[in-house]
A and B are shown apart, each in its own frame.
Chain A
């Protein structure tokens, strides 16, 4: 069985690394990006099975990356999990508006993240 490929985007390399370790041990292949521009480019070139996207990113904000992908029929089927350290209602609402499939707050429970990924990849 082919490993599912997940794109992890965060401007904090340690965060990307930690999620990468978590996902790899759970049998996922991980691609990494550290800013909004990279994220968009990688999403388009690699077409991952799922994207975990931080909101506060250099170059282009997570919201914009999400919107650009979700409003493009070629990529709109890729599930996107937004995650942020800003646990505000407005952000959650904005996340819904740009078409994100799930929304989690930092710090998050690894099990919760894995559960969300599992559900979205079904």
Chain B
């Protein structure tokens, strides 16, 4: 009996225990089920966070390589739709240094079609917000507005702003702009969206701040360089406002350190005791360069007291890659000392040549007196010695004259006395004078060929004679005996110049030698015959003289056939430069 009772109790206990266990197991299962569900939601949230973080990481990565404000703006606007869901976003940024009124830029991005009314209220909200942040009023008209991604606005469907988020963009605790997103739906944005927008705005802030620092550091480096330069630098922007003037420029122009700095005031210091209205002229030159009429203008002024310096300056336009003019830079150089050295050089050459002339003169007269038999007949050998001496006295004289000429030309001291004269008659006259030299070598100088009986040039007759004499004398020198020299005078194709040519039947000049022909002291292995060597300055002087008249010299030559020199002078009534203006 006892055994039965025990057994029954045991059975009942087992049932109870199993029941409890079953209940527990069932309960556990249910709990697990709900945990799995919860996990799923959580994982989705995590994925979204990870995605957002990746995008933000990409933004910060990309933004750190950008060195241009506008590119930063566009990058941000491009990333925004990737992590936020909205209809319209706006980005408003004010320029670095607000002056009287704010200027800046604004981007409007429409991802979905919205009505014009919607756009209007969005802008209203943005401007209201920014004007709360920045006490001075910011007006839409002062901003440059561009649309980034655009959908046509739907005008008939009236939709109002349901929700919006505005976050300021701060640089060094100062608001410099505003980033906003908006939607037609109400309660469209979560707390997380606001956090994201803040993060993006912060990234933008730090990128702008970094860029500002980089630019400031570069500018500082540049300013130091410009300040340390010996040359004077005056930099203006595209409308001619002063950007930079360095201490050297101020010193050269005689400006005190504390003087006010605007372009008019700086230009007022372009005073030249010898030229009137210099500031006005300087202003006109600057304007000319800024308007694109002339890339470079070079002038020289003698600055008034107290500096009394001779300053040479170049005004040059600054252009971007597309050729758009961004401003102008004026570089000033103090050439007082160079000028003084030049003056001393000229004076030295002039003194030396003067000192050489007097003894030469005495020798020449003595030699010629004897040679002409003033004191009795001389024999052939005496004659030979004396004539050779006489020729070399002449050579020395020419050398001195040429040296004097070249030093005057280099110092810009030659003045042209231009007048209209008939170049045909003058040429015949010069040919007559040189006929003797040609006869000695039995060279025939052909009658002058000209396109008209009379051709008038506007030139200095003495200089013309010097040039033509030099060319004919060269031709005589380099033409073998019984050769031929021909001269022609023609009007240039554009009728602005008269071209005078001297052609010989000499050896010719090789192509390689032609470029050096007009340099100083160049003498070529041209067979010059038994005559006397030249000074090597003739062609250099001729070229300089022709160019002072505004003409050109050129040469055509063929080895074995001959050489033809041509120079052009302005036809009468043309412009004859006075030789001093070197612009």
Contact = CB atoms under 8 A, between A and B. Distances in A.
A14 to B, nearest CB: 5
B397 A107 contact: yes
Contacts of A89: 415
Interface stretch (A17-25, A40-48, A74-82): A17-25
Nearest to B405: A87
Contacts of A15: 358, 361-362
B362 A22 contact: no
Given A15-B358, A25-B374, A107-B393, A87 B365 contact: no
Nearest to B397: A107
Interface in A86-114: 86-89, 105-110
A86 B350 contact: yes
A85 B362 CA distance: 11
A109 B393 CA distance: 11
Interface string B449-474: 00000000000000000000000000
Interface size class of B (residues with CB under 8 A): 20 to 34
Contacts of B404: 87
B115 interface: no
Contacts of B374: 21-22, 25
A12 interface: yes
A9 to B, nearest CB: 14
B368 A86 contact: no
Contacts of A21: 369, 374
Which of B362, B374, B404 has the most CB atoms of chain A within a 10 A radius of its CB?
Answer: B362
Contacts of A108: 361, 364-365
Given A15-B361, A107-B360, A87 B401 contact: yes
Interface in B390-446: 393, 397, 401, 404, 415
Given A25-B374, A110-B372, A18 B358 contact: no
Contacts of A105: 357
Nearest to A11: B358
A25 B355 CA distance: 28
A108 B401 CA distance: 13
A85 B364 CA distance: 14
Contacts of B560: none
Contacts of B375: 25
Contact of A107 (B355, B357, B369): B357
Contacts of B401: 87
Given A87-B401, A110-B372, A12 B354 contact: no
B365 A110 contact: yes
Nearest to B375: A25
B399 to A, nearest CB: 12
Nearest to B360: A107
B358 A85 contact: yes
- A interface, how many residues as a size bin? 10 to 19
Contacts of B355: 85
Contact of B354 (A14, A22, A25, A86): A86
A77 to B, nearest CB: 28
B368 A12 contact: no
B372 A107 contact: no
A14 B357 contact: no
Interface string A23-44: 0010000000000000000000
Specify which of A18, A25, A88 lies most central, judged by the most chain B CB atoms within 10 Å of its CB. A18
B400 to A, nearest CB: 9
B368 A110 contact: yes
Nearest to B396: A107
B366 interface: yes
A12 B358 contact: yes
A111 to B, nearest CB: 8
A4 to B, nearest CB: 18
Nearest to A21: B369
A47 B66 CA distance: 96
Contacts of A12: 358, 362
Interface string B10-36: 000000000000000000000000000
A108 B397 CA distance: 10
A56 to B, nearest CB: 8
Given A25-B374, A107-B393, A107-B397, A85 B365 contact: no
Contacts of A85: 353-355, 357-358, 361
B369 A106 contact: no
Contact of B357 (A18, A22, A106): A106
Interface string A5-17: 0000000101100
Nearest to B371: A110
21 contacts: A14-B362, A18-B362, A18-B366, A19-B365, A21-B369, A22-B365, A22-B369, A25-B369, A25-B374, A25-B375, A85-B354, A85-B357, A85-B361, A87-B357, A87-B404, A107-B357, A107-B361, A107-B362, A107-B363, A108-B361, A109-B364
Interface of B: 350, 353-355, 357-358, 360-366, 368-369, 372, 374-375, 393, 397, 401, 404, 415
Given A15-B361, A85-B358, 20 more contacts: A15-B362, A18-B365, A18-B369, A19-B365, A21-B369, A21-B374, A22-B365, A22-B369, A22-B374, A25-B374, A25-B375, A87-B404, A89-B415, A106-B361, A107-B360, A107-B364, A107-B397, A108-B365, A109-B364, A110-B372
